[in-house]
Amino acid sequence: MTTREGAPPRSSRADAWLVAGGAVAATWAITALAPGSLEGDPTVPVVTQVLLALAVGAGAFVLTRRYSPTATGALVALLTGLFLCGGATALLNSTPFGPLGAVADQSYRTAYLTKFGHTWELVDYAYKDLPSFYPPLYFWVLGRLGAVLGIASWEMLKIGTLAVAFLVPVAGWLLWRPVVGPRRAAVVVVATSLAFHDWYVPHLWLAIAVFVPWWLHFVVGVGRPPGTRLGRGGLIVAIALGAVVALTYWYVLLIGLVHLAAMAATRAAARRHGRPPEPASLRDVAVVLGGIVVVTIPYWLPLAVSFLTTPGARTMQNRYYTAEEVSLPLPFLEFDLRGALLAFGLVALVATAHRRRVSLHLLGLLAAAYLLYLVGYLTFLADFPIDTLRTTGLIEFLLAAGAGLGAADLWRIATTGTAGDLGARVGPSLDPRAAIALLAVGAVAVVFALGQTAVRDMPFLTEQRAATYPDALIDGFTRATDGEYADAVVLTDETDLSSFLPTYVFNVSNAHYSHPAARFEDRAALLTALARESDPDVFALALLHNEYDDVDYVALRSGRDGLAYRWLDDAFPRGVTSRSITFSEDSFATDAFEALPSNGSGLELYRVRRSADPLSSLRSCPANPDREQCAVLGSLLDRYGRHLDDDAQDLARRWRAAR
C-alpha cells in the first residue's frame, strides 16, 4: 500500500528516518568514545574501520529496502558524510588543530580566522588597511561563527575541516540530484568523496564539489530539457551558488570559463549537425556570471583598487612552483586501485559522451582543465605562472564522477532486463544473478578499500598531534603590551603572533604569502637597509616614517650579534630562498622606542612611542637649515628616500632646498 502513486509506505519513510537517526547516533557515540589519537597507536585507525563498516553495512541495508529514490540517495550521502566526518574527528582528536597544526600554509589560514573572529570586515590576514586578497568566504564564516559561539578562532580551522568532510557528500548529493537523478547522484558522491579528498585545503575540496554540479546544471543546462531556460528563482540560486564558489576558491571558475568559451565556439557547428547549442541561452549565462560579479563586489573591487593604485603591485602566491607541477597530471595511469577507478571513469565518460549530456560536459571540463594546465607551461616561461597545481584536484574529481556514473550504468544493466542480453553477449554461462552478486561484492570491496585510505591517509597527522598552543609567547606578549595589541602592526618574523592574536605584521615571513599590493620586496629592502644603519636617529626616523605601515611594536628574537629577522624570499622557479638580517640593539636605544619586559615570551619587545617622534624636533629645519641636528635629514633622504612617507620626504627636501 502506498500513500500516493510512486511513494513509499509511511512505515518505510519512518524506517528511513530511524536509519538516519541511528547512523548519526552511532557515529557520534563511536567518535566520542574513541581514545586519543597517538602516533604509532593503531586504536584510532581501528575506530575508523568500525565507522567504515557501519557506513557500508547501513548503506547495504538501505539499498535492500524499497525506499524512494530520494530517500535512498539522501541516506547514502548522509552515511558517506558521517563516515568522513566521524573518521576525521577520531584521527584529529588529540589536539584542537587541523592537519599540520598552525605552520606553513596553516599559519596564514589561522591568521585569517583570527582576523575575522575580531572584525566583520574583509581584511587581509597580514597587512593592515589592505583588503583580503585570498577568497575570504570560508574563513570569514568560520571566524564569525567562532566569535558567536565563543570558540577560539584558531580552533575553527579543524572544525571547518570536519564540516567540509560532512558537507561534500551531503551538499554534493543535493546539487547532483537535478543533474543525474537521486540514485545516480548518490553513487557519484560516494565515488568522488572516497576517490578525491583534500584534507589540507578543505575549502578547495568544497569549492570543487560545489562547482562541478553547479556548472553542469545552472550554466550548461544538464538535467534540464534541451532549450529550457532558468526561471527567476533558478537564476537567483545559480548566482548565489556561483558566488559561493568564487568567494571560496575562484580559481576553479577559470576552468569553467575555458569550457564555456569552447561551447560558444562550437554553437554554429552544433546547429549544422541538428543539435541544440549549449548552453541553451547565452543571455542566462551572462546574467548568472554578471550576477556573480555583482554579488562578489565587496571582495574583488577593493582588491582591484589596491592593486591598480599601488605602483609595483604584483601577485606572489602563484610564483611558488614545485617539481610536481612540471608533469601533466595523469592520475588515471597510476597503478593502484584509485588509478584504476579513475581510468574506469575516463572510459565510462568517453563511452557515453555521444548519448549523455552529463558525460559530454564532464569531458569538456576535463579537457578545459588540461588546456589550462598546458597554458600554464607558456605562462611559466613568460615568468607568470598561473598555479596550475590547483587543476589537479578538479581533474581527479571529474574522473571520479565519471566512475560513479559508470558504476551506476553497470548496476542498471545487471538489475534490469538488459542483464540477460549482456550475458548472451559475454557467454551463456553468465547467470544474471551471478552478475548482480559479482557487482555487489565488487562494489563493497572497492568502497572498503577506498574508504580505508580516504581518512587514514590524511596528511600531516604527525605534525597535527605534536602541535601546541604557544602559551608563553602569547601570554608574554599580551602582558607586555597590557593587552593593547588589537589591530597593532608588529615588526616580527614570529608568525604565531598574527596567527593567534588580531595583530598585523610589517612584512610576512614568506614572500608567497604576501598581498599583491603590500610591496613585499620594497618592505624587505627597507628592513635590509635598516639592519645596516649605524645611526639610531636615522633608524628611528626611517622606521617611524616609512610609507608602508605605522609600526606599533617590535618583537624579535635575540641572536648572537643582535636581534634576528628571517624570511623566505621568492626564488622562482626554484621555490624560495632563505634570507636573514640582524638589527643592532643600539638602534632601539632612542626615545622613540620603549623597551618592554619579555615576560617569558622569548622575544625582545619594544613599543614605538609616537609621542617621541624625532621628526617633531626637526620641523623648524627648513627655516633654520644650519642647525646641527638637521643634518640627519640629509642622511635620511639619501639612504631611505624611496621608502619615506610624504611628511618626512617633504620636510627633508625643503630643508635641503633651504641650504
| Cα–Cα nearest to 216, from 93, 368, 378 | 368
Cell numbers given for 594: 620603549
| Cα–Cα nearest to 110, from 491, 389, 513, 567 | 513
pLDDT of residue 5: 45
User: What is the overall mean pLDDT for the chain?
Assistant: 91
Cell numbers given for 99: 592537519
Per the CB < 8 A criterion, the answer to whether 435 and 419 are in contact is: yes
pLDDT of residue 484: 95
State percent of the chain over pLDDT 90. 76
User: Residues 82, 85, 91, 94: is their CA dihedral positive or negative?
Assistant: negative
pLDDT of residue 429: 54
Q: Which residues make Cβ contacts (< 8 Å) with residue 325, sequence separation at least 6? A: 376, 388, 389
What angle is formed at CA 198 by the lines to CA 194 and CA 202, rounded to 5 degrees? 120
Side chain identity, residue 8: P
Cα separation, 243 vs 223, in Å, equals: 21
pLDDT of residue 430: 57
Residue keyed to cell 597530471? 329
- Band of pLDDT at residue 229, cut at 50, 70 and 90: confident
| H or E element that contains 596 | strand 593-596
**Residue 274: pLDDT over 90:** no
**Residue 287: pLDDT over 90:** yes
How far is residue 250 from each of residues 136, 247, 286, measured CA to CA in Å?
10, 6, 17
Cell numbers given for 27: 557515529
Cell numbers given for 359: 558525460
Rounded mean pLDDT, 154-174: 97
Cα separation, 456 vs 446, in Å, equals: 16
Q: What is the pLDDT of residues 419-437, one digit of tens each?
A: 444 444 444 555 677 777 8
* Pairing between β-strand 553-558 and β-strand 563-570 as defined by DSSP bridges: antiparallel
- 597: cis peptide before it, omega within 30°? no
pLDDT of residue 38: 85
- Band of pLDDT at residue 17, cut at 50, 70 and 90: confident
Q: What is the pLDDT of residues 296-351, one digit of tens each?
A: 999 999 999 999 999 989 888 888 877 777 889 999 999 999 999 999 999 999 99
- Band of pLDDT at residue 4, cut at 50, 70 and 90: very low
If DSSP codes are grouped into helix, strand and coil, which group holds residue 226?
coil
pLDDT of residue 1: 40
- Band of pLDDT at residue 352, cut at 50, 70 and 90: very high
| Cα–Cα nearest to 246, from 300, 319, 315 | 300
- 622: cis peptide before it, omega within 30°? no
Q: What is the CA radius of gyration of the chain?
A: 29
Cell numbers given for 116: 575575522
Cα separation, 405 vs 253, in Å, equals: 23
Q: What is the pLDDT of residues 379-424, one digit of tens each?
A: 888 888 888 888 999 999 999 999 999 999 988 887 775 544 444 4
Q: What is the pLDDT of residues 193-218, one digit of tens each?
A: 999 999 999 999 999 999 999 999 99
H runs (alpha helix) in 503-558: 520-532, 536-544
pLDDT of residue 102: 94
| 124 φψ region: left (φ > 0), alpha (ψ -120 to 50), beta (else) | beta
End-to-end CA distance of the chain: 103
Q: What is the pLDDT of residues 41-79, one digit of tens each?
A: 899 999 999 999 999 999 999 988 888 899 999 999 999
- Band of pLDDT at residue 559, cut at 50, 70 and 90: confident
Q: Is the overall model pTM greater than 0.75, yes or no?
A: yes
* Pairing between β-strand 489-491 and β-strand 553-558 as defined by DSSP bridges: parallel
Q: What does the DSSP 8-state code read for residue 362?
A: H
Cα separation, 519 vs 573, in Å, equals: 20
Q: What is the pLDDT of residues 479-538, one digit of tens each?
A: 999 999 999 999 999 999 999 999 999 999 999 999 999 999 999 999 999 999 999 999
* Pairing between β-strand 604-608 and β-strand 563-570 as defined by DSSP bridges: unpaired
Cell numbers given for 107: 599559519
Residue keyed to cell 590547483? 390
- Band of pLDDT at residue 560, cut at 50, 70 and 90: confident
What angle is formed at CA 565 by the lines to CA 563 and CA 571, rounded to 5 degrees? 155
